[in-house]
A = this chain, B = another copy of it.
Amino acid sequence: MSPALWSHMTTSLNTWTAQIRAGDARAISRAVSAIENRTSEAEALLQLLFPFTGRAWRVGVTGAPGTGKSTLVDRLAAHYRSEKRSVGIIAVDPSSPFTGGAILGDRVRMQGHAGDEGIFIRSMATRGHLGGLAQSTGDATLLLDAAGKDMILVETVGVGQGEIEIVRLADCTVVVLVPGMGDDVQSLKAGLMEIADIFVINKSDREGAAAFETQLTAILQIVPERDGWKPPVVRAVATKDQGVAPLARQIALFREHVTKSQNRQARELAYWKEWLLRLIETRLVDRVLGDRAGSAAFEKLATEVAARTKDPYSAAREILSRSRV
C-alpha cells in the first residue's frame, strides 16, 4: 500500500471510529456489515475501538423457536430505555442470506422504537459455509460496546452447539422456555443447564405453567451451583409486559454477583479464550482456503474424495501440508 493511500485509509478509519463512538447509527450499521463480510477494514476498525470497550453488559438470550424470545428482548429493551440506558440488540439469524428474513425482521422491529436514537437493532446472518457467526457476533458486541451502548442484548434461535458458542460470548445468559415444550426433560438437560444464568418461563399464562416451573425448579436443585450462583426462574408473559422488570432485576443481581465474585478474573480469562479460539479458527480456514491456489487444491481433492479415489484424511493432510501449519 502506498503511504498516501495508507494515510487516507487511516484518516477515514479515524473518522469512522469517532462516528461510532458518538453513537452514529449509520456508521455503526456500516461497521456491522463490514464485520459480516469480514473485510480487512473491519479488523482495523475493531482494533481502534477495542480500548473503548469493556463498559457494556452483554446479555445473551436463547431458546427454541416459538418461545417468544424476540418479544421478550423488545420489552426488555423498552424497560432499559425507560431507565435512560442505551441499548444495542443483535439478533443472530442462522438462516442463509437468501431468505431475506433478517432485514425484514429488523424493519418490523425497528418500528416499535422509531426515532429513538438510544437503541440500535440489527440482525446478523451467516455468509457462506465458512461459519464464523459466533466470531462476527462477538465482534459486533465489541462494536456496540465501543459505541457506548449500556446494555447489549444478543438474541439467538435454538439451543444447539452454534448457539452455545454465541451465548458463551455474553456476560450473562438467559434461557427462555415455555410450558408444554418441556415434555422432553432430557432435552432440557442437554446443554442448557451449563449455560443458563437465568431461566425465563415465558407464556406462563399457559396451562401447565405451574407444573412446569415445579419440574424445572426440581431439576435445578440437583444441579451444582456455579461460582455461588443458583440460576433463578422468572415467570413472564412478554406480550403483556409481565415479568420483564423482574427479569431486568435478576440480570442486575447477576451482574452484581459477577462483579463481586472472586472468580471474576477466571471468568474473564475463560471468556477471552473462547473468543480468541473462534477468531483463530476463522482466520486459519480463511488463510488455508481463502486464496485462489488454496481453493483450487480444495476443489481438486474434494473431487477425488467424492470419486473415492482418495480418502478424506489423506486429502486433509495434503491441504494442510501446503500451508505448512
Is B51's CB under 8 angstroms from A308's CB? yes
Residues of B within 8 A of A68 (CB): 183-184
Across the interface, do B280 and A288 meet the contact criterion of CB distance under 8 Å?
yes
CA distance A188 to B210 in the complex (A): 28
The smallest C-beta distance from A133 to any residue of chain B, in angstroms, reads 6
Taking CB atoms, residues of chain B closer than 8 Å to A283 are 316, 320
Contacts of A319 in B (CB 8 A): 276, 280
Known contacts A126-B161, A276-B305, A302-B269; is-contact A287 B94 (Cβ 8 Å):
no
Q: Please tell me if the beta carbons of A66 and B306 are within 8 angstroms of each other in the complex.
A: no
A66 contact set on B, CB distance < 8 A:
64, 181-184, 187
A:168-199 near B, CB below 8 Å: 180-184, 186-191, 193-194
Number of copies: 2
Interface bracket on A: 35 or more
Chain B residue nearest to A65 (CB atoms) is B187
Alpha-carbon distance between A181 and B323 when the two chains are bound, in angstroms:
47
Pick from B67, B271, B284: contact of A325, CB below 8 A. Answer: B284
Which among A156, A162, A190, A193 has the highest number of chain B CB atoms within 10 Å?
Answer: A190
Contacts of A165 in B (CB 8 A): 131, 162
A138-178 to B contact mask, C-beta < 8 Å, 1/0 = 00000000000000000011111111110000000000000
Given contacts A160-B156, A161-B163, A313-B47, contact A101 B276 (CB under 8 A): no
Given contacts A95-B193, A268-B306, 12 further A-B contacts (CB under 8 A): A54-B308, A65-B182, A66-B187, A93-B190, A94-B191, A98-B194, A129-B277, A157-B187, A157-B191, A272-B312, A273-B298, A323-B325
- A residues adjacent to B (C-beta < 8 A): 43, 46-47, 50-51, 54, 64-68, 70, 93-96, 98-99, 101, 105, 126, 129-131, 133, 156-165, 180-184, 186-191, 193-194, 265, 268-269, 271-277, 279-281, 283-285, 287-289, 298-299, 301-303, 305-306, 308, 311-316, 319-320, 323-325
13 example contacts (A-B, Cβ-Cβ < 8 A) are as follows: A70-B184, A94-B159, A94-B164, A95-B193, A96-B194, A101-B190, A157-B190, A180-B180, A181-B181, A269-B302, A271-B306, A273-B299, A325-B325
Sort A-B residue pairs by CB-CB distance and give the 3 closest, nearest first.
A160-B160, A161-B162, A65-B187
